[in-house]
């Protein structure tokens, strides 16, 4: 006789475990302590076996019957329900262990070991700041293209379009690694080509018209940014250097009394001397009490042992400028324009900026 909910609720414990059968091998086991447990008795390869379905009433009579029917379908296909359950559990555990963050860090350690430290730091920062918070704990085999796109659009919405494109490239590389190591079946990031607006060109518009310089400089004090960022913006027009060289300026390279900045040019590894205008010296003296305890004149916001990121300066500059193309990568154009107006030979301007000069 098949079980009913009323019969199950009225089943009372006795001095020993007893079984109340429903049909098709399904029964309710009532323990002396009063627990009511669902069990399935079946045979596979000539051996009697049992499968647990959970506790009543957490698992209802209807639920237990559905689980029994699923198990019998497996038996009809010559599959042991117990082994099938073990395999499914193992797959879930493996999927949880192979989450996006774990696979991405494995990819980073194996594939980025020979890269420059500065490049590795940027890649890791993109992963940790823009991808891990939303994708990190997700099984990598379950992540979809729309999930990745949502992360990339968050980056884009804060004005970092180039970072969004680079994050997509990093994400795609992680998925390619996951595919070749058997942790994922496909690369959903490949479907995102064209999903983002084109990245801005590497070289942005510089302020080259003298009449544009004054209004730009006057706005720098009012920009919504930290004091070191404001100082970087104010200092840049007085220096002939690349933006990365400005951001990487160290206090031990700056000689305020001599009004000099001496450093090694990154691209050529040659010593370089930059004369400091009185305005530049004043800005640095104003900043020294704030960042002087660290190595970098413009330390990173989160890691003071690293220089300020280029995107930090670019975002602040775009707030100042009235045109979207303004970025710190073009700031050296201002001094060179001034030199041209002052009838300074072009090659001297190039030398001041530490570019190679050809006769």
- Regarding whether 126 and 164 lie in a shared domain, the answer is yes
Task: Give the pLDDT mean for 163-172.
Answer: 94
Instruction: Check residue 219 and give its pLDDT.
Output: 66
Question: Within this chain, do residues 217 and 347 fall inside the same structural domain, yes or no?
Answer: yes
Q: How confident is the model at residue 234 (pLDDT cuts 50, 70, 90)?
A: confident
Q: Rounded CA gap, 347 and 357, in Å?
A: 6
Statement to judge: residues 229 and 309 lie in one domain: yes
Residue 204 CB burial class (10 angstroms; 0-12, 13-18, ≥19): buried
- CATH number for the domain that contains residue 281: 1.10.443.10
Given this model, what pLDDT does residue 320 score?
66
Residue 218 pLDDT grade (very low, low, confident, very high; cuts 50, 70, 90): low
Q: Name the residue range of residue 156's domain.
A: 100-192
Tens-digit pLDDT profile for residues 173-211: 999 999 999 999 999 999 998 899 987 654 444 555 566
User: Quick one: 157 and 175 in the same domain?
Assistant: yes
Residue 67 lies in a domain: yes
In this structure, are 15 and 46 located in the same domain?
Answer: yes
Mean pLDDT of 333-349: 45
- pLDDT for position 200: 61
What is the Cα–Cα distance from 203 to 31, expressed in whole angstroms? 76
The yes-or-no verdict on residue 11 having pLDDT over 80 is yes
Shared-domain flag, residues 286 and 249:
yes
Is residue 86 domain-shared with residue 111, that is, in the same domain?
A: no
Check pLDDT > 60 for residue 344.
no
Q: How confident is the model at residue 352 (pLDDT cuts 50, 70, 90)?
A: very low
pLDDT in tens, 300-327: 888 888 898 877 777 777 776 544 444 4
How many domains, in total, are found in the chain? 3
**Cα–chain center distance at 37:** 46
CA-wise closest residue to 127 among 160, 167, 99? 167
- pLDDT score at 331: 43
Mutual orientation of helices 227-235 and 210-220 as an angle, nearest 10°? 160
Do 221 and 326 belong together in one domain? Answer: yes
- 124 domain residue, yes or no: yes
Structural domain includes residue 200 = no
Q: Is residue 359 part of a domain?
A: no
CATH number at residue 104: 1.10.150.130
**Residue 239 and residue 348 in one domain:** yes
């Amino acid at each position: 006789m098949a079980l009913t909910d009323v019969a199950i609720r009225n089943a009372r414990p006795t001095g020993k475990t007893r079984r109340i059968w429903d049909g098709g091998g399904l029964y309710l086991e009532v323990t002396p302590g009063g627990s009511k447990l669902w069990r399935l008795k079946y045979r596979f390869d000539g051996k009697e076996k049992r499968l647990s379905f959970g506790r009543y009433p957490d698992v209802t009579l209807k639920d237990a019957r559905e689980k029994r029917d699923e198990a019998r379908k497996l038996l009809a296909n010559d599959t042991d329900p117990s082994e099938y359950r073990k395999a499914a559990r193992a797959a879930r555990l493996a999927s949880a262990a192979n989450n996006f963050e774990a696979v991405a860090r494995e990819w980073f350690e194996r594939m980025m070991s020979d890269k420059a430290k500065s490049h590795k730091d940027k890649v890791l920062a993109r992963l940790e700041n823009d991808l891990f918070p939303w994708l990190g704990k997700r099984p990598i085999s379950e992540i979809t293209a729309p999930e990745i796109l949502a992360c990339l659009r968050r980056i884009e919405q804060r004005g970092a379009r180039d970072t969004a494109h680079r994050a997509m490239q990093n994400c795609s590389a992680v998925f390619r690694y996951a595919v070749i190591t058997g942790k994922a079946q496909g690369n959903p990031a490949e479907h995102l080509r064209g999903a983002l607006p084109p990245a801005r060109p590497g070289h942005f518009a510089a302020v080259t018209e003298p009449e544009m310089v004054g209004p730009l400089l006057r706005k720098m004090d009012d920009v919504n940014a930290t004091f070191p960022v404001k100082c970087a913006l104010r200092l840049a027009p007085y220096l002939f250097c690349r933006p990365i060289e400005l951001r990487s300026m160290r206090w031990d390279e700056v000689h305020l009394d001599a009004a000099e900045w001496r450093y090694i040019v990154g691209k050529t590894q040659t010593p370089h001397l930059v004369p400091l205008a009185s305005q530049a010296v004043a800005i640095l003296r104003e900043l020294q009490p704030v960042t002087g305890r660290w190595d970098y004149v413009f330390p990173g916001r989160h890691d003071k042992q690293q220089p300020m990121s280029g995107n930090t300066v670019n975002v602040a500059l775009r707030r100042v400028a009235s045109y979207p193309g303004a970025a710190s990568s073009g700031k050296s154009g201002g001094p060179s324009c001034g030199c041209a107006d002052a009838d300074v030979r072009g090659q001297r301007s190039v030398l001041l900026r530490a570019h190679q000069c050809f006769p």
